[in-house]
Structure 1
Amino acid sequence: MTENLHRYLLIVLFQLIVVIHCEGMGTLRVTKEGVRLEGVSEFLLPLYVKEIQSRRDSPLVLQSDRNVTINARNDQGQLTGQLTVGSETVEAQCQRFEVRSADGERVLFSADEEEISIGTEKLRVTGTEGVVFSHSVETSHVRAEPFQDLKLESPTRTLTLEAPRGVEINAGVGDFTASCRKDLLLQSSEGEILIDAHSIRLGNIPVGSAVDPLEGAPAGTTYKKQTVYELCSCANGKLYLSPAEKGSTCQTTSNFCLWS
């Protein structure tokens, strides 16, 4: 009787093993297309598969109480790429990170150790403080939104615009304003500086007078109330106004250059 019972149990166990190997176990089913999982499945050890797909009418959800990490390795088992989704950050570790368009033909964003490239036609920054760059910026075109002002500002340092073949600043329907706390320098090493406008105005230019700065007395020339002035220049390039007469009065009022 005991031998028959053992033989019966062995037969049942063999049948169960055959069923498990042929069809699967519980929510795990073996089909012609591969292994199919029904419902929520939990894996306590690493899972090695070639491809994971969801049902056509359902999304694929990977869930963990901590981080979700996807690793890619080469033939020697070395880590070549890693994507980690954490509770606070999403990290990607790879030689080159790319974001492509829906058709996969255009690279919209790429980053590696050398540079970050943005392949979209327009880069839009919606923050109220704009964009802050710690170092230099290389671009062929900087443009504001329609009907909005474009402002390039360096609150505590120098703002420098450089180009090997020229810098063009164009305000099609508005004003162009350049302001600074100290000196505004326009310099051309080989060419010329051209100011071309319907009218050119220089404001807050001091008015020179024929006064001896050592004695504080008139140098022998007095002028009536003036409405027309002559523009004079000192040797250091500073400009000042001198009362206009029949001849030039710049030499008479040149004492201005000594104390200006």
Structure 2
Amino acid sequence: MTREQYILATQQNNLPRAENAQLYPVGIYGWRKRCLYFFVLLLLVTMIVNLAMTIWILKVMNFTVDSPLVLQSDRNVTVNARNHMGQLTGQLTVGADAVEAQCKRFEVRASEDGRVLFSADEDGITIGAEKLKVTGTEGAVFGHSVETPHIRAEPSQDLRLESPTRSLIMEAPRGVQVSAAAGDFKAACRKELHLQSTEGEIFLNAATIRLGNLPTGSPSSSSPSPSHSRQTVHELCVCPNGKLYLSPAGAGSTCQSSSNICLWS
């Protein structure tokens, strides 16, 4: 026997017999296969339900691209802002009676340049608009002092500063200017009108200065004569306390003889 025949016979003897070989099936069979198909089907159904619910919510809440966002509630709508620790830092509540904002600072900015139009915090309220217009028939009511560099009315409208039950005070360290370019300036009060200048003077510059309803004094020595009752020319006199009164004009000053007005002022 040649060497090649010996090697061939030896390899044939070492080969396993077909009847002794064992076959192992590969894959998932039985109840495992049915459970896998069930979970895949359940996942598919869940995805379809979630997609349908999302589309329904978008349609009901009007979440679209071409229309505004609408948040609607039977009571109120509240938007909360919290920090990383879960603490409430800001809140906006839109209710049936009022709109409330709770925050450290509230700002309204212009859409064009982003400048602050209105801001409010604990220190004060700032209005950054070029014009503040109050359209109410009763005007604006201020409970305390108001500081502003300029107050004016609309064109062809009257400007009125009024304090019905208390006094009205206008003061400034460098002066107060009141002008009416196209109309009249009127100052009326129930008791007294004070024009006071601590360091300067009060200057009245007009073509005609009229002082109406001034009391007319009479000579204290005797009753007024018939000539005084028909007097048409009077002299303007001043009491020591600053009160003005009229005295019938004569050849000389008659203020001293008609100074009984000053005794009762």
Q: Report the TM range for the smaller structure's normalisation.
A: 0.7 to 0.9
The runs of at least 4 aligned residues of structure 1 exceeding 6 Å deviation read none
CA deviation profile, 1:162-220 (whole Å, cap 9, x unmatched): 111111111001000000000000111111111111111111112211134xxxx449x
Letter in 2 for 1:238: K
1:56 and 2:61 correspond = no
1:40 to 57, 65, 79: 57
Check 1:245–1:88 CA distance in 2 against 1; reply closer, same or farther (3 A cut): closer
Evaluate the alpha carbon distance shift between residue 256 and residue 110 of structure 1 in structure 2; reply closer, same or farther with a 3 A threshold: closer
Task: Tell me the distance in 1 between the aligned counterparts of 2:54 and 2:73.
Answer: 18
AA in 2 matched with 1:226:
Q
Q: 1:246 to 1:100 in 2, by over 3 A?
A: same
- Paired residues in the alignment total 234
Match of 2:153 among 144, 150, 158: 144
In structure 1, stretches of 5+ residues that fail to align are 30-35, 43-52
Matches within 5 A, 1:110-129: 110-129=119-138
For 1:206, give the aligned amino acid: P
Task: Flag the structure with larger Rg.
Answer: 2
1:255 aligns with 2:260: yes
Alpha-carbon distance in 2 for matches of 1:242, 1:228: 9
TM-superposed CA distance for 1:18, in Å, is: 6.7
More helix by percentage? 2
The answer to whether the aligner puts 1:246 opposite 2:259 as a matched pair is no
**TM-score, with length taken from structure 2:** 0.78
Residue identity in the other structure for 1:246: A
Shift of 1:222: 8.0
1:74 counterpart residue number? 83
CA distance change for structure 1 residues 25 and 73 in 2, over 3 Å: closer, same or farther? farther
- Which sections of structure 2, spanning at least 5 residues, go unmatched? 1-28
Residue-by-residue CA offset, 1:145-169 (whole Å, 9 max, x unaligned): 1000000100000011111111111
**8 Å contact from structure 1 (residues 207, 242) kept in 2:** yes
Given the two structures, how large is their TM-score scaled by the length of structure 1?
0.80
